[in-house]
Amino acid sequence: MNSPYTNKIIMKLQDQLAPSIIKQQHIIHNPLKKENTEVMAHGHQYLTTRAIDLNNIPCAKNQRIFMCIYHIQTEGTPFLEYLLYKYPKNKCDICLFPFIGRDTKKNLKTQIDTFFKSIINTPDIKWTSKGYIQKDDDIFMLFHLPYSEDFRQKHILRRDTEWWWCLIDEICNQRHVVNFPIHDSVTNLFLKNPTLIYLKDTKGKQFPIPRALYYGTYAPIAPFYFVFGPKQTVSGRYGPYYYLGSYEKIIRYAGWSPEYTPIKKDNISIADEHGRLIEGGGIIRYAVFLGNLKVLLNHPHDKKHDDLAIKGTLDFQLRLEDRDGAWAEHYDSLYYGRAKIGGEPGRVWRTNPGFITKKFKQQIPLSMHILDKKTLKTNWDPHYYKYYIQ
């Protein structure tokens, strides 16, 4: 994708748009049209309205029209992604819908076409207007773009990348993509209009919404995990499955060696005296379908895996570890939390919880990033939220 429509318009948004709650909004619903019937024929439906007549939208001169652009990934279980514009770091790295100011001297369709051509590097753009929501003096227009690699974001995204396809989970639950905040105006649009959240099958049943999770590793081998998934060996604490976590959690493995010690590979140092990776670690972002989830609670009556005990193993670890991967017999994924360490006030085991998935197809890679080593401390701090990508 190229640079945004116009910096003069979009860059004003940070100052002009204060966080607000979206109230009294209405999506314009129209009869089903052929275009949507074709979408439904592929096994899913979303905003089943016909294309609206742009001439009937009440836009005044210079009125802001927010461009709410989505596409649907259909490889495997389908899911939604919405396109957000990310401000640079001197504008707080905030992500929000791009907007245009209405130019009443131009046809609205022509103005929208100009916008799309400026951000999408493809000569044939087939966008469809799906309705609009009006909030005070602003209009939020919904647009569908058929999924295509022509305008799919590049796999490697940087901090200065301007356009990000974001999951519903990132918008509504996490309210971040990586560690870049998503503006309240975006989140509230969905929370106040839940129809926008759900993708359904042709019978009206909601598809599961994937969760955004991450994996961190040594940068040169990150492409391998991007393609083949973050699978661990039988030595993993939960069996030979796929290990994922929050952005904050995986910084530990993208930033430092396992034991915080220097490491050499082919006589070349790859980690310094503090164990920090010299080249910066690799981070992979996935859309993850958790399915039937088992949660390890560290409850007194939970099963203990005594056969896995080794010297130095704490009692609670026997309830929060499953090295033979027995959980996978009945579940699709596993969540492990944290536990207080007895006799050590304030200390916990596994400050940042993690997830394990059973099958390769449960995680779809979205993007790769390189950790900015300049933002690393001497040791990993699980409560620090300013570890950034390059």
Q: How far is CA 124 from the centre of its chain?
A: 28
Cβ(172)–Cβ(198) below 8 Å: no
Cβ(293)–Cβ(253) below 8 Å: no
What pLDDT is stored for residue 29 in this prediction?
38
For residue 24, CA distances in Å to 135, 193, 286 come to 7, 10, 35
What pLDDT is stored for residue 308 in this prediction?
52
379 — pLDDT class (breaks 50, 70, 90): confident
Laid out side by side, the sheet with 242-245 consists of 293-296, 333-336, 354-357, 242-245, 211-218, 281-288, 363-370
Give the closest residue to 32 by CA, choosing from 21, 19, 41, 22. Answer: 41
What pLDDT is stored for residue 2 in this prediction?
38
363 — pLDDT class (breaks 50, 70, 90): very high
Alpha helices in the chain (DSSP H): 7-10, 13-16, 34-41, 108-119, 168-169, 184-191, 222-228, 247-255, 317-320
Q: What is the CATH number of domain 211-375?
A: 3.90.228
Least confident of 132-141, 186-195, 282-291, 303-312: 303-312
Q: Report the percentage of the chain scoring pLDDT > 70.
A: 78
- How far is residue 229's CA from residue 244's CA, in Å, rounded to a whole number? 10
187 — pLDDT class (breaks 50, 70, 90): very high
Kindly report the number of other CB atoms within 10 A of residue 112's CB atom: 20
Give 7-196's CATH code, choosing from 3.30.9.10, 3.90.79.10, 3.40.50.300, 3.40.50.11540: 3.90.79.10
Give the closest residue to 60 by CA, choosing from 105, 102, 15, 112. Answer: 102
Cβ(283)–Cβ(159) below 8 Å: no
Q: How far is CA 151 from the centre of its chain?
A: 18
Mean pLDDT (the chain) is: 81
Secondary structure of the chain: what % helix, strand, coil (to 5)?
25, 30, 50
What pLDDT is stored for residue 273 in this prediction?
87
- How far is residue 162's CA from residue 144's CA, in Å, rounded to a whole number? 20
Q: What is the pLDDT of residues 7-38, one digit of tens each?
A: 333 333 333 333 333 333 444 433 333 444 44
- How far is residue 115's CA from residue 118's CA, in Å, rounded to a whole number? 5
Least confident of 42-46, 51-55, 181-185, 189-193: 51-55
- How far is residue 97's CA from residue 114's CA, in Å, rounded to a whole number? 17
Q: Is 85 helix (H, G, I), strand (E, B) or coil?
A: strand
What pLDDT is stored for residue 20 in this prediction?
32
The pTM of this model reads 0.85
Mean pLDDT of the region 61-76: 88
In terms of C-beta density within 10 A (0-12 exposed, 13-18 middle, 19 or more buried), how is residue 240 classed?
middle
Q: What DSSP line would sit under 318-383, residue for residue?
A: HHH--TT-GGGGT-SEEEE--EE-TTSTT-EE-SS-EEEESSGGGEEEEEEEEB-GGG--SS--TT
Cβ(323)–Cβ(236) below 8 Å: yes
Q: What is the pLDDT of residues 313-362, one digit of tens each?
A: 566 666 777 888 889 999 999 998 777 766 667 677 777 889 999 999 99
What pLDDT is stored for residue 50 in this prediction?
59
Mean pLDDT of the region 277-304: 86
Least confident of 40-54, 163-177, 200-214: 40-54
What is the pairing mode between strands 339-340 and 348-349? antiparallel
- How far is residue 350's CA from residue 317's CA, in Å, rounded to a whole number? 10
Q: What is the pLDDT of residues 83-101, one digit of tens each?
A: 999 999 988 999 999 998 8
What pLDDT is stored for residue 306 in this prediction?
57
Per-domain residue ranges of the chain: 7-196, 211-375
Q: Report the percentage of the chain scoring pLDDT > 90.
A: 42
250 pLDDT exceeds 80? yes
What pLDDT is stored for residue 284 in this prediction?
97
Distant-in-sequence, close-in-space partners of 354: CB < 8 Å, separation ≥ 6: 243, 244, 245, 246, 249, 335, 336
- How far is residue 291's CA from residue 362's CA, in Å, rounded to a whole number? 8
HSE toward the beta carbon, residue 273, CA cutoff 13 A: 0
Q: What is the pLDDT of residues 216-239, one digit of tens each?
A: 999 989 999 999 999 987 677 889
244 — pLDDT class (breaks 50, 70, 90): very high
